[in-house]
Amino acid sequence: MSAVEINKDTWLKWFESMLLMRKFEEKTGQLYGQQKIRGFCHLYIGQEAVVAGAISAMQKGDSMITTYRDHAHALALGVSADSIMAEMYGKATGCSKGKGGSMHMFSKEHNFYGGHAIVGGQIPLGAGVAFAEKYKGTDNVNICYMGDGAVRQGALNETFNMAMLWKLPVIFVCENNGYAMGTSVQRTTNMTDIYKIGLGFDMPCAPVDGMDPVAVHNAMDEAIQRARKGEGPTFLEMRTYRYRGHSMSDPAKYRTKEELEDYKAKDPVEHARETILKEKYADEAWIEEVEAKVKATVDQAVKFAEESPWPEASELYKDVYMTENYPYVMD
């Protein structure tokens, strides 16, 4: 039995949340092309259902940790579009004070423990967050995301073993978008059913249609309930797809146009729109109102980032150590 039922309000929230992710990322791509945003930048366009379906199954106090493809996760957890955009601009008003940029944003207030650029580096950290929750006696759960390329890291095996041994409240989620950077899953592993990695640790595991928020929600809900009961982790392989390249510098010539179009036919944002209209949860006027609201939010975020100040040079010496006034050698 699902602990969090799917209803009209769920679909309306999914649509607005996924549309915000989509439009925010599209604007991010435009700004990167204008060199307003620099460094590495990885867009989430096409994968929105993986996060939206998870959020609807979570409760206040639960947390997320993920890779460098992290803008949508932060948005879904409630980090403001203003502070995320400012972070990507490198401005002082960013959620990480302009020090993290696209790949390393963080918000303790919203239980978002970051984007992490070291491939697979967040996997043991996610288990560590879950260990802390268990140690403190809470019923909070950590959702730990990784890409299909990260599952080949040794840290995953060590972490899975400990997480099962200690029955940690962590849900490991592989966002399998088919490609580790530009290399297909078929070329990187003999086990293309990635979820089966969990079997070697006697960990509950399953494949999930990552283009469908309902499938994501139900799988996450079951895993979260199990974790809250003290029964330990779950490994879910979310089979999804990114419509853009690995990063903004990737032309994605390693895949066919036909493959891309096949997945665009499963677009989670359009699926939500069609479901809302078909089930008469709302009408076209409501859709248009949400589209206008999302556009205004994204436009405001850009304005906020543009008008925000750059960090002071003295910020280089802050947030490095817990000790205030650390005696740096500054000569």
Length of the chain: 331
At 330 the pLDDT is 73
pLDDT at 189: 84
Instruction: Say what the pLDDT of residue 322 is.
Output: 86
Q: Degrees (nearest 5) of the Cα angle 235, 143, 82?
A: 145
Which of 178, 144, 138, 134 lies closest to 64, judged by CA?
144
SS3 (DSSP) at 148 = coil
Q: What is the pLDDT of residue 331?
A: 66
pTM over 0.85: yes
Rounded to whole angstroms, the Cα distance separating 201 from 207 reads: 16
Q: What is the pLDDT along the chain (331 residues), one digit of tens a residue?
A: 567 789 999 999 999 999 999 999 999 999 999 999 999 999 999 999 999 999 999 999 999 999 999 999 999 999 999 999 999 999 999 999 999 999 999 999 999 999 999 999 999 999 999 999 999 999 999 999 999 999 989 999 999 999 999 999 999 999 999 999 888 988 888 889 999 999 999 999 999 999 999 999 999 999 999 999 999 999 999 999 999 989 998 888 899 999 999 999 999 999 999 999 999 999 999 999 999 999 999 999 999 999 999 999 989 888 888 888 888 877 6
Residue 1, pLDDT score: 53
**Per-domain residue ranges of the chain:** 8-307
CATH topology of domain 8-307: Rossmann fold (3.40.50)
CA distance 112 to 129: 11
The whole-number pLDDT of residue 4 equals: 79
**Which tokens belong to 163?**
């997480």
pLDDT at 3: 72
**SS3 state at 147:** strand
**Tokens found for residue 57:** 């199954």
pLDDT recorded at residue 323 = 87
